Amino acid sequence: MKKYSEMSKEELLKEKESLLHALEEYKKMNLSLNMARGKPSVAQLELSMPMMDTLHSEADMVCEDGSDCRNYGVPVGIPEARRLMGSLMEDDPENVFVFGNSSLNIMYDQVARSYTHGICGNPPFSKQEKIKWLCPVPGYDRHFKITEYFGAEMINIPMNADGPDMDMVRDLVENDPQVKGIWCVPKFSNPTGIVYSPETVFAFAALSPAAPDFRIYWDNAYCVHFLYDDDHPFIPEILSECEKAGHPDMVFKFASCSKITFGGSGISAMASSKNNLADIKKTLTVQTIGHDKMNQLRHARFLKDHDNVIEHMKKHAAILRPKFELLEATLDNELLSRGIGNYFKPKGGYFIAFEGPDNTAKETVSLASDCGVVLTGAGAPFPYGKDPDDKWIRLAPSFPTPEELEKASEIFAVCARLAYLKTLTA
């Protein structure tokens, strides 16, 4: 197939005319397709419906420590839920607090707590002159929204194939005391699918921050979300590595079951050092008398342990894998074969990040919207929604049916081609 860069002006204009005609035909279909957010599909949600039978009117509602899960109390989470989440996060249950349904909520609370009361005796962020936050890009838009909301100055950190640019991270963290945090999604990163290498993890653990209240926000959102049963990438456990390096308090880890069981109705957890958890507990005892222990008990009895979770996630992978492969085939055949764009083929997670030619992302998203295909806004994978090159688009293949995804992928490819042609023929 001839690449656009090899075509004459006349050939490009002819191709452009053909794609404009295809676009008009799509518009007539009155489609409503969505590849914007990484929501589990109906088929995936069905996998966890048996969990609803674990608690019923005759069920024992008492957890391992003797607490009645129907009542108040146990703000740090019931023992079996702490053990379950600890197994997913590779942490001792004693280092784990279990919260409500959303890990994003925990992250927001932790940043808010840092602004109002500080971290481990350090001055509140609100009393400090300026706060800076490191943001690996492309990254997770909702992370960036949290630090934007609290007024932090966010700094783009380029992502390499093995994780963030650690030379840049090291220089900023070790030389600027205003740098207070960094967002990280270490396994199947959102949206690229990149997995941090062991060397990257060791480099994080070896950091010597200029600010005593600098923390790594380690979002293990996709820790067990593999696509291939025989390919589960390993990364070293960050908390223990930080402890070995003499920085035991440098990390907050987060995870949830939102894409394991029910989106928005899972359980979430935070793991950290004893010092950090003791500091957090001061606020927690004021903030809540306890989270939803019935849901914690339900999850612990259904998911049981790490091995059982892995078997459960194989069922998710069987549903997700064909969707990813369908989207990847479309990108390969319709775009990359024409010399348009690139992407990192993920082995897990929920997204594919398409890197198109410069100055095409906004136009591609707009054209797709005109055809009834909703995509994440161009610029979303960057702080303040500003992609400096206007080229990254996050694609989420999980929610549509295979038939819907096939059509949405086809339309996306046409729109990406047309957006590029517009720049070539301008």
Q: Residues 6 or more apart from 120 whose CB is under 8 A from it?
A: 212, 213, 249, 275, 276, 279
- Helices (H), strands (E): how many in the chain? 13, 13
Instruction: Scan for tokens 């949206």, then name that residue.
Output: 191
The DSSP letter of residue 194 is -
The torsion of the CA quartet 87, 88, 89, 90, rounded to 10 degrees, works out to 40
> How far is the C-alpha of 33 from the C-alpha of 405, rounded, in Å?
8
With 0.85 as the threshold, say if the pTM is over it.
yes
Contact 109, 291 (CB under 8 A): no
Cα(377)–Cα(361) distance, rounded to whole angstroms? 9
Tokens 């005391």 correspond to 177
> Which residues make Cβ contacts (< 8 Å) with residue 348, sequence separation at least 6?
187, 188, 193, 195, 222, 225, 226, 227, 228, 232, 233
Q: What is the amino acid identity at position 280?
A: I
Residue 422 token pair: 């517009």
Tell which residue, 281, 232, 111, 87, has the closest CA to residue 183.
Answer: 111
Q: Sort strands 96-98 and 342-343 into parallel, antiparallel or unpaired.
A: unpaired
| DSSP state letter for 334 | I
Per-residue pLDDT tens for 244-278?
999 999 999 999 999 999 998 999 999 999 999 99
**Rounded to an integer, what distance in angstroms lies between the CA atom of residue 71 and that of residue 305?**
25
Q: In what order do the strands lie in the sheet with 153-160?
A: 96-98, 268-271, 251-256, 215-219, 179-184, 132-137, 153-160, 163-164
pLDDT in tens, 113-167: 999 999 999 999 999 999 999 999 999 999 999 999 999 999 999 999 999 999 9
Give CA–CA dist 413/403, Å, rounded.
Answer: 16
In tens digits, what is the pLDDT along the chain, a chain of 426 residues?
A: 889 999 999 999 999 999 999 999 999 999 999 999 999 999 999 999 999 999 999 999 999 999 999 999 999 999 999 999 999 999 999 999 999 999 999 999 999 999 999 999 999 999 999 999 999 999 999 999 999 999 999 999 999 999 999 999 999 999 999 999 999 999 999 999 999 999 999 999 999 999 999 999 999 999 999 999 999 999 999 999 999 999 999 999 999 999 999 998 999 999 999 999 999 999 999 999 999 999 999 999 999 999 999 999 999 999 999 999 999 999 999 999 999 999 999 999 999 999 999 999 999 999 999 999 999 999 999 999 999 999 999 999 999 999 999 999 999 999 999 999 999 998
Share of the chain above pLDDT 70, in %: 100
Question: Tens of pLDDT along 55-68?
Answer: 999 999 999 999 99
Domains in the chain and their CATH numbers? 4-44+310-424 (3.90.1150.10), 61-304 (3.40.640.10)
CA distance 44 to 319: 7
